[in-house]
Structure 1
Amino acid sequence: MNTVTSATPISQSQVPSLLVSPDHYGLLTDLYQLTMGACYAGEGLDQKWASFELTVRKLPTDLGYLIAMGLTQAIEYLQQLRFTPEQISALQATGLFERAPERFWELLRQCRFTGDVWAVPEGTAVFAHEPLLRVEAPLWQAQLVETYLLNAINYQTLVATRAARLRDVAGPEATLLEFGSRRAFGPQAAVWAARAALAGGLDATSNVLAALELGRKPAGTMAHALVMAITALEGNEQEAFEAFSHYFPGATLLIDTYDPLVAARTLAARAREGFVLGGVRLDSGDLVELSRSLREILPPETSIFASGDLDEFEILRLRQAGACIQGYGVGTRLVTGSPVNGVYKLVEIEGIPVMKESMGKLTYPGRKQVFRRLTSEGIEDRLALAEEAAQPQEQPLLEQVLQGGKLVRPLEALVAIAQRTRASVEVLPEKVRQIREPVTVEARPSAALQTLVNQTRRVPA
């Protein structure tokens, strides 16, 4: 492998782009997925029919539920999964696969996902130990896709859940904007975060690419830099507001570069002279007291917008303290935070149920279904075997999405997913929805599942 010292100039052709596209899907995996695939091929196991389920063992701290998200990107990946001749040559050149059988390389050359996928629809509230997704496919295929599926679903589920909580706390009338692109874990994550935020209940995103690709209008305000630049060059802050409003009439203006109360008084005076003032934004300071003061200064139709490291906890505090705020921009704490630690585990191979029995990491064996029943107090979930029938008033959560690698139903539009998110949260008990110390729902294992657990155990309970 060639190395380049810091003193050696690097030509543009030597700089790897590291930009991900569908052409990279085959290699966008952990090494052990490929080494296990080679082993399966060598042992003649690659076509054995396997079932893997993606679940979350434990919800992150302070979350009483999760909103399933990322299925659309998971399906897009599965349907475009390929290996190019150049990628296969690159793998061979690593020297890691010198003893891999020729069968393995043939599998990569012909790679197409041919399995079945069952999944919980995006926007559905789920809980620990409930499968969000099940893959049934030839063993080597089902194994290969683990890394990407976990990446797509874990991250979007985290962002969608936080977005749903933000909407729940802020209320239906508040404007909620996603501002997290600069804090997300990379450009691809920024786009996924924007999508998940919209599906989780936010109104718009400042990410232009995500907004336009999703058929939405991007939303945003302005930065301190514009105010400082025009103030320095043209004399005062009001010149900055006038200039920006000339090109974007009715825009929300950022007024805390210097003194927000002084800025508000000047804008209020200009509004009385006919200046169109759509809204103002605060990004710092005591948002409760400042917003109250602004409400007294500004015209009543002027919206007050807040940003600056906000999350559901801070928005709840602001509302309880009587802040006069009509909209919020949320970023860092929406697109980062405690991860959703989803896992992807083998549950059945050639019809034989299997389970992991490691201490603290036990998994349920067999292909499973989640049956949900709405009650006067909220919901009851039953974790059952896939072949079990629904009991009275129960509805199955997992639906088939792919059969033989082909879609069996169209993927849903973002607006439908957002509607399901809202409906899913509304039926949850208040103790599950509460922001601090929520009580989660425990899915009840069916009698048949519990029997299968006892039959499958290799380590005495």
Structure 2
Amino acid sequence: MEDQELTVKSEEYGLLTDLYQLTMAACYVGAGLDQRWASFELSARRLPQGFGYLIAMGLSQALDYLEKLQFTPTQIESLQATEIFAGAPAAFWDTLADCRFTGDVWAVPEGTAVFANEPLLRIEAPLWQAQLVETYLLNTINYQTLIATRAARLRDVAGPEAHLYEFGTRRAFSPQASLWAARAALAGGLDATSNVLAALKLDRQPVGTMAHALVMALAATEGSELQAFTTFHQYFPGAPLLIDTYDTIAAAKTLAEQVRSGHLQMRGVRLDSGDLLSLSQEVRSLLPEVPIFASGDLDEWKIAALRQGGACIDGYGLGTSLVTGTPVNGVYKLVDLDGIPVMKEASGKLTYPGRKQIFRRYAQGQLQGDTVGLITEVRNSQPEAGVEEKPLMQLFFKQGEPIQSIEALDQIAARTRASVTALPAATRNLEQPQPPVLELSPALQDLTQRTRRHP
């Protein structure tokens, strides 16, 4: 019977994968390779167009997935019933029945700025386990990294004082995605979300105003737009009001009279349509002490234009452009098998072999550049004067067990702010941003040359 609910439970994590991960796992078991120690690295081949950096996000959910990975007897029976695995070795089913992630996880902490061809995460585990987890890891990290990066760019453009709210639930790609989007947006620099479930799960206060439907319904039954506002304030005193259902300026004038007479106290008004630049300026002249919020398909470029034009806007609601867009092109590739370096050499899809580390250089708190090298490298402990070098990837799981505590969202958001602040101005530009030049260490260059399969 079909399951119409189609929600994901943690005990179903094993099945939330692509079929070929399981068929490859069966082949590994049959060939006696399943327990060979393998290293896979997750990285972005390129940045989305117009982006100068990415903010790594989604690691917390990835680690939760790895910790809970399993196959129940019922799930194994369901796989067997498909008859796809009729020729699989019998030991494959024993392998699934005993499934528990037993490997190591290296990753950059969430909120870290990264660039193309740098590993965000590395799984070191028995080959069949490391292969199986690819689909879920790419799903959560690719999507949350995109949202966190958009949020960081929006915060960078809007400035530290602006109130930025995530309103994207209705545009997110699924109910699950809406929760991840809210989390990533907050970790990327936004202040709050309208998603009630996400807010409460994350120990946050949900935010919001009202929709035009409420104004129209109450105005139709109560007699006027002002009476609609008054009725709303009867139950939610001072709450921000949406004032562009009919005539924005007329509504602002009416509210200004009510404020002057002491009949209304207001914590904000929201503009959702029209020329936000001119409307915000007119509303500010009428309601000089009332915060003005704007929404309506806003993105970082539109906010930059509004600020440059002198818009009187104190906060923004971000939806469609925040939770959708060009995806992060994250890939997950085998780089080492039992100490044997491997690489993909296909045109335009080359990967670098070996277990790697990112070495980041700072001078007076500003990022100078990155070098991708091998995890075994002993770097110069005394780089050039005034320059500090730090390895970015940290060990989060050892032999299937977490070795670091879960970070609070505020801590991740603080790292995001620091990461963006440390970037060169050219990398933060909205127009033709320039990522820092990525260097490969001599040791990695040499390994790459030796690993290539020359004709």
TM category, shorter: over 0.9
Q: Distance in 1 between matches of 2:356 and 2:108?
A: 12
Is 2:400 the partner of 1:400?
no
Q: In the alignment, does 2:205 pair up with 1:217?
A: yes
- Aligned partner of 2:221 among 215, 228, 233: 233
Structure 1 residues 14 and 36: alpha-carbon distance in aligned structure 2, compared to 1, 3 A threshold = closer
Q: Do 1:267 and 1:277's aligned partners in 2 also have CA atoms closer than 8 Å?
A: no
Q: Which residue of 2 aligns with 1:302?
A: 290
In 2, the alpha carbon distance for the partners of 1:41 and 1:97 equals 13
Q: Which among 83, 88, 100 is matched to residue 112 of structure 1?
A: 100
The equivalent of 1:5 in structure 2 is none
Instruction: Give the aligned partner of residue 7 of structure 1.
Output: none
SS at 1:25 equivalent: helix
Could you give the per-residue CA deviations for residues 67-87 of structure 1, whole angstroms, max 9, x where no partner exists?
Answer: 000000000000000111111
1:404 is displaced (CA, Å) by 0.6
SS at 2:119 equivalent? coil
Q: Is the 8 A contact 2:360 2:367 kept in 1?
A: no
Give me the whole-angstrom Cα distance separating, in 2, the residues matched to 1:114 and 1:164.
34
The reply on whether 1:195 has 2:217 as its aligned counterpart is no
1:88 counterpart residue number: 76
Tell me the distance in 1 between the aligned counterparts of 2:220 and 2:140: 45
Q: CA deviation at 1:273?
A: 2.0
Q: What one-letter code is carried by the residue in structure 2 that aligns with 1:192?
A: W
Does residue 418 (structure 1) correspond to residue 413 (structure 2)? The answer is: yes
Secondary structure, counterpart of 1:137 in structure 2: strand
**Which residue does 2:165 correspond to in 1?**
177
Offset from partner CA, 1:169-199 (integer Å, 9 cap, x none): 0000000000000000000000000000000
1:439 is aligned to: 434
Q: Does the 8 Å CA contact 1:128/1:442 hold for their aligned counterparts?
A: no
TM-superposition CA deviations, 1:197-254 (whole Å, max 9, x none) = 0000000000011111011000111000100001111111111111111111121100
Amino acid aligned to 2:160: P
In structure 2, what is the equivalent of residue 247 of structure 1?
A: 235
For 1:6-85, what aligned pairs fall within 5 Å after superposition? 14-85=2-73
Match of 1:277 in 2: 266
2:385 alignment partner in structure 1: none
What RMSD over aligned residues (CA atoms) do the two structures have, in Å? 1.0
Cα pair 1:379 1:427 within 8 Å, conserved: no
Letter in 2 for 1:452: L
Matched letter for residue 107 of structure 1: T
Native 8 Å contact 1:127 1:442 kept in 2: no
Instruction: Name stretches of at least 5 consecutive residues in structure 2 with no aligned partner.
Output: 383-387
Q: TM-score, normalised by structure 2?
A: 0.97
Q: In the aligned structure 2, how far is the partner of 1:155 from the partner of 1:75? A: 15
Cα distance, 1:55 vs. partner? 0.5
Is 1:287–1:323's contact at 8 Å kept on the other side of the alignment? yes
Tell me what 2:281 maps to: 292
Per-residue deviation, 1:15: 4.5
Corresponding residue pairs, total: 447
Shift in Å, 1:277? 1.1
Partner SS state of residue 193, structure 1: helix
Identify the residue that residue 335 of structure 1 maps to in structure 2.
323
Q: Aligned partners of 1:177, 1:17: CA distance in 2, in Å?
A: 29
1:371 correspondence with 2:366: no
**Kindly tell me: are residues 455 and 14 of structure 1, through their superposed partners in 2, closer, same or farther at Cα, counting changes over 3 Å?**
closer
In the aligned structure 2, how far is the partner of 1:338 from the partner of 1:302?
36
Give the Cα–Cα distance (whole angstroms) in 1 for the partners of residues 135 and 368 of structure 2.
Answer: 32
Counterpart selection for 2:147 from 154, 159, 177: 159
Confirm whether residue 387 of structure 1 aligns to residue 347 of structure 2.
no
Q: 2:424 aligns with which of 429, 434, 437?
A: 429
SS at match of 2:15: coil
The CA distance in 2 between the partners of 1:379 and 1:134, in whole Å, is: 24
* Greater CA drift, 201-210 or 367-376: 367-376
Q: Which amino acid aligns with 1:383?
A: V
Which letter does structure 1 place at the counterpart of 2:343?
M
The whole-number CA distance in structure 2 between the counterparts of 1:324 and 1:408 is: 48
Superimposed CA distance per residue, residues 27-80 of structure 1 (whole angstroms, 9 cap, x where no aligned partner) = 000000000000000111100000000001110100000000000000000000
Answer yes or no: is the 8 Å Cα contact 2:169–2:195 preserved in 1: yes
Alignment partners' CA distance in 2, 1:321 and 1:433: 20
Per-residue CA deviations over 1:277-318 (Å, capped at 9, x if unaligned) read 1110000000000000001111x2200000000000000000
CA distance in 1, matches of 2:86, 2:2: 27
Whole-Å Cα distance in 1 between the matches of residues 161 and 31 of structure 2?
60
Structure 2 letter corresponding to 1:448: A
Please say if residues 355 and 362 of structure 1, whose CA atoms lie closer than 8 Å, have aligned partners that are also in contact: yes
Alpha-carbon distance in structure 1 between the residues aligned to 2:88 and 2:193: 47
- The answer on 1:101 being equivalent to 2:102 is no
Letter in 2 for 1:288: L
Amino acid paired to 1:85: P
| Range with greater deviation from structure 2 (333-342 or 374-383) | 374-383
Paired residue type of 2:355: R
After superposition, the C-alpha distances for 1:264-285 in whole angstroms (9 at most, x for unaligned) are 1111111112211111000000
Query: Does the aligned pair in 2 maintain the 1:347–1:354 contact within 8 Å?
Result: yes
Verify the 8 A CA contact 1:390 1:396 in the aligned structure 2.
no
Query: Is 1:147 matched with 2:135?
Result: yes
Instruction: Give the Cα–Cα distance (whole angstroms) in 2 for the partners of residues 411 and 152 of structure 1.
Output: 17
SS at match of 1:132: strand
- Native 8 Å contact 2:362 2:369 kept in 1: yes
